[in-house]
Amino acid sequence: MKAFIASQTQIKSWFIHLASDAEFAFPVSTEGDNYRFETPDINNLSELFSYKPSLLPPGKKIFPDNEILFNYHKDAAGHYHFSQGPAAKPQILAGVRPCDLKGIFLLDTAFSDGIKDTHYLQRRAQTAIIAFNCLSPCDERCFCAAVQSLDFQSGADIFVTALPESDNCLLEVLSSRGEQLINSLQCITAELPQKLKMQALATRPSPFGKQFVLPLEQLADTIYQQDADAVYEQYAQRCFSCGTCNLVCPSCYCFETKDEFSLAADLQQGQGQKTRQWDACLNPGFAEVAGGHNFRAQPAARQRHRVRRKFAYLHQRFEHIFCTGCGRCGRQCTTGIDIFDIVNDVCQATDTLSMNKEQGVNGA
């Protein structure tokens, strides 16, 4: 691994250069305290390490909404002709935090499973990632350390850590693409990079962010085994079933497809396209099938499904917890429903149930 030292001023100049050669996205401050991954005003970059998590995670740049999968048209002879949607263009995502880097890794995992999703994977292959380390919690919502996202680096091409009491940063080059990117940066080779990084990490608070009441290795079994009807019903009473928590989640990847077709006046010719849009398991019609039956008609059932999918079902399939601890769901929910709180309450309900069972046995 190669490592370099550069000042934040040098990194900003570097970003200006990179943005001139490819599509470039960085967290840009918008209304209030919100941030979005957009093309910044490159001559007026904000402080590199000051932003909070963006409204939408950067992985949405690789898995966009309303994506055209393919186009088609019908000729006068009645034959259909198909062509793939727009080709993926090179893009650079800079300022990606470890929790969002893990979110992209989880999307990679899901879209590579079984029949590979070529639309996503082609765009992912064209995406370079410059990730930024976290030395302090984003805000009171984050629980990245509790789900082992805090030190996540897999999938980054370059990983940047701010050095304490300095304007300098440590840049670790993690891929051949990262080596190509850093060639245009004015920097010096880092001596003893691991020592420098450990000094930076030593400034982190402990504990880092919110912590679950149970160790992570126990969560999947606990969430899977405990129905916790009262807990899910309690949160469902506040839930509008709007699906916002799904849509801002870095690891949600559900979608639906739609055909948009227009016919010529003679009805013999026409053209259209197949697109896919993000879908959300909290939406009332998500689990509705032909004939009108809905497998999860009640909000509490949808809340249970969401939590179990993140912490149990996908863990069983991929051996990864599909929650990154970014805190977006609680941050963006109209009524403040946070998956962290639900998981903690389910765990505490499990402890209470176990205690009651033991007391019942002892009392007998």
Residues 110 and 8 in one domain: yes
Residues 155 and 229 in one domain: no
Residues 12 and 69 in one domain: yes
What pLDDT does 353 receive?
47
Backbone angles phi, psi at 357, to 5 degrees: -65, -45
Q: How far, in Å, CA of 132 to CA of 170, rounded? A: 10
Does residue 269 sit within a domain?
Answer: no
Does residue 272 sit within a domain?
Answer: no
Q: How far, in Å, CA of 107 to CA of 251, rounded? A: 6
What pLDDT does 79 receive?
84
How many domains does the chain fold into? Answer: 2
Q: How far, in Å, CA of 243 to CA of 284, rounded? A: 9
What pLDDT does 363 receive?
45
Residues 147 and 226 in one domain: no
Residues 152 and 191 in one domain: yes
Residues 131 and 227 in one domain: no
What pLDDT does 263 receive?
65
Q: How far, in Å, CA of 55 to CA of 244, rounded? A: 11
Residues 220 and 197 in one domain: no
Instruction: Going from the first residue of the chain to its last (364 residues), give the mean pLDDT of each consecutive group of 10, the final group possibly shorter.
Output: 93 91 89 82 72 90 95 83 89 96 98 96 97 94 96 97 94 97 94 96 96 93 92 95 96 94 65 92 93 94 96 95 96 95 92 50 42
Residues 36 and 178 in one domain: yes
Residues 21 and 70 in one domain: yes
Residues 64 and 138 in one domain: yes
Does residue 328 sit within a domain?
Answer: yes
Last residue of a domain, one of 201, 225, 244: 201
Q: How far, in Å, CA of 26 to CA of 51, rounded? A: 10
What pLDDT does 137 receive?
94
Backbone angles phi, psi at 262, to 5 degrees: -125, 135
What pLDDT does 351 receive?
59
Cα–Cα nearest to 4, from 161, 136, 228, 207: 161
Work out the number of other CB atoms within 10 angstroms of the CB of residue 184. Answer: 11
Domain of 232 in residue numbering reads as 216-253+281-363
CA atoms within 13 A on the CB side of 223: 31
Does residue 59 sit within a domain?
Answer: yes
Last residue of a domain, one of 201, 234, 261: 201
Last residue of a domain, one of 133, 166, 201: 201
